[in-house]
């Protein structure tokens, strides 16, 4: 039985609650003799600030590098908002990990589960069966470019600067990920930018165009302005398959795409780097896209399915266990078909289950 070594970083807010359910599913897979999981747990984000004064310690980065995959809950909350210096806020827990591990490819599926189509604010016929994959660049752009600073001017005014930077190779490698994934899906990529306003947009569009011609001419490529994409996602989301875009557009538009499904609490994500040429191991991190939801933390009714779905993605992309990934995803579908719902996805009047009940049900459905 293959043994895997996973790092669990629950983080803040509902992070610990949902991570406990992912751990249940891991234990169930072990019990069934399907694989063996060693897990280690560490603090990150606000929890790590409180305990150590540092949202992301070097030891945590080292643990993540050594692990076969890292499962991440969520970071941040009002407790730490606007307190302490910018480089020590909870979000550094995730931004720093993405950068330190070189996780440049963020895969954010926006899938609408059949039994949940009526939860969408869009008409059900526009979203049922929806299956969009946003491929977001994750280690470049305005998130990391320098200068990034606030300076006080002589007249007492302050002046803030953020810098969006992209190089050809950064755009090429994320484009390659998108085209490769499209080949296993509907063979259609929309690349979004603001090439009418941004120089990084010009470089983005030209690089994706060249890459497409050189290596992926069999895939259909469409360029679209990011603002128009925002509209088209609302208007007719079913026209899209794979979407590729920069870090900031990916942040905003993957959230819009996610909300179309009506069930944010269902959506996982994977963040991947390149395999090490010597060891072959590929850095990776898996997290739900819903964030730390401080308003409902500690009440035991957060939806753990996005976290468990993220675990399934880790089985697929990092542990090379596609059968186990299928099995976990089937278990998620089956509890939905049984009618189990946490409050966020319950229809009005429908009985809701707790975080723990949902996790247990998935583990049993395995």
Q: Which stretch binds a copy of itself (CB under 8 A): 99-107, 244-252, 306-314, 327-335?
A: 244-252
Query: Could you identify the residue written with the tokens 């600073």?
Result: 149
- On the 0-12 / 13-18 / 19+ scale of CB atoms within 10 A, 125 is exposed
The closest alpha carbon to 94, from 9, 13, 5, 21, belongs to 9
For a copy of itself, the closer CB: 31 or 222: 222
- DSSP β-ladder status, 270-272 and 242-245: unpaired
How many amino acids of this chain bind ligand IPM (CB under 6 A)? 8
| In the complex, minimum distance from the CB of residue 247 to ligand IPM, in angstroms, rounded to a whole number | 7
Residue 298 in tokens: 């500690």
CB 6 within 8 A of CB 37: yes
Is residue 12 part of the annotated active site? The answer reads: no
Q: Does 341 bind a copy of itself (CB under 8 A)?
A: no
CB atoms within 10 A of CB 58: 9
* Annotated binding residue 291: yes
Distances (CA, A) of 143 to 91, 165, 334: 11, 9, 39
Is residue 113 part of the annotated active site? The answer reads: no
| Footprint on residues 177-206 left by ligand IPM (CB under 6 A) | 196-197
Give the residues across from 70 on adjacent strands. Answer: 7, 285
Q: Give, to the nearest 10 degrees, the angle between helix 168-183 and helix 199-215.
A: 50
Q: What x-and-dash track marks residues 19-38 binding a copy of itself by CB under 8 A?
A: --------------------
Q: Say which entry of ligand IPM, a copy of itself, none residue 296 contacts (CB below 5 to 8 A, set by partner kind).
A: none
Q: Does 227 bind ligand IPM (CB under 6 A)?
A: yes
Q: What x-and-dash track marks residues 85-114 binding a copy of itself by CB under 8 A?
A: -x--x-x---x-------------------
CB 249 within 8 A of CB 226: yes
Q: Does 95 bind ligand IPM (CB under 6 A)?
A: yes
Q: Does 249 bind a copy of itself (CB under 8 A)?
A: yes
* Annotated binding residue 301: yes
How many amino acids of this chain bind a copy of itself (CB under 8 A)? 64
Spell 172-190 as b/e; 16+ CB within 10 A means b: bebbebbbebbeeeeeebb
Query: Could you identify the residue written with the tokens 């009940």?
Result: 357
| In the complex, minimum distance from the CB of residue 278 to a copy of itself, in angstroms, rounded to a whole number | 23
Q: Does 188 bind a copy of itself (CB under 8 A)?
A: no
CA distance 203 to 85: 33
Q: Does 227 bind a copy of itself (CB under 8 A)?
A: yes
Is residue 227 part of the annotated active site? The answer reads: yes
Binding interface with ligand IPM (CB under 6 A): 76, 91, 94-95, 196-197, 227, 251
| Catalytic residue list | 143, 194, 227, 251, 255
């Amino acid at each position: 039985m293959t043994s895997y070594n996973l790092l669990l970083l629950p983080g803040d807010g509902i992070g610990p609650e949902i991570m406990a359910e992912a751990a249940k599913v891991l234990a169930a897979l072990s019990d069934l003799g399907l694989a063996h999981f060693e897990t280690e747990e560490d603090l990150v984000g606000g929890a790590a600030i409180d305990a150590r004064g540092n949202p992301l310690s070097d030891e945590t980065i080292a643990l993540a590098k050594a692990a076969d995959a890292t499962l991440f809950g969520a970071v941040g909350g009002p407790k730490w908002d606007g307190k302490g210096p910018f480089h020590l806020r909870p979000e550094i827990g995730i931004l720093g990990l993405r950068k330190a591990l070189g996780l440049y490819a963020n895969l954010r599926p926006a899938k609408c589960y059949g039994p949940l189509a009526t939860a969408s604010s869009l008409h059900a016929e526009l979203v049922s069966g929806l299956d969009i994959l946003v491929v977001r660049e994750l280690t470049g752009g305005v998130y990391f470019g320098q200068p990034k600073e606030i300076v006080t001017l002589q007249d007492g005014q302050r002046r803030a600067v953020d810098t969006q930077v992209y190089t050809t190779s950064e755009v090429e490698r994320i484009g390659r990920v998108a085209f490769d994934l499209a080949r296993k899906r509907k063979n259609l990529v929309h690349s979004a930018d603001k090439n009418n306003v941004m120089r990084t947009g010009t470089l983005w569009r030209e690089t994706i165009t060249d890459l497409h011609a050189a290596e992926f001419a069999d895939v259909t490529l469409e360029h679209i302005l990011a603002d128009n994409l925002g509209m088209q996602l609302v208007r007719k989301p079913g026209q899209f398959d794979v979407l590729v875009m920069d870090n900031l557009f990916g942040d905003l538009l993957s959230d819009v795409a996610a909300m179309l499904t009506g069930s944010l609490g269902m959506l996982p994500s994977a963040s991947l780097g390149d395999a090490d040429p010597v060891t072959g191991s590929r850095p990776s991190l898996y997290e739900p896209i819903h964030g730390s939801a401080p308003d409902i933390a500690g009440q035991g009714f957060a939806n753990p399915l996005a976290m468990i779905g993220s675990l399934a993605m880790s089985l697929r992309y990092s542990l090379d266990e596609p059968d186990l990934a299928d099995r976990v995803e089937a278990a998620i579908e089956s509890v939905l078909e049984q009618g189990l719902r946490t409050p966020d996805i319950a229809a009005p009047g429908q009985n809701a289950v707790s975080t723990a009940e949902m996790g247990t049900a998935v583990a049993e459905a395995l």
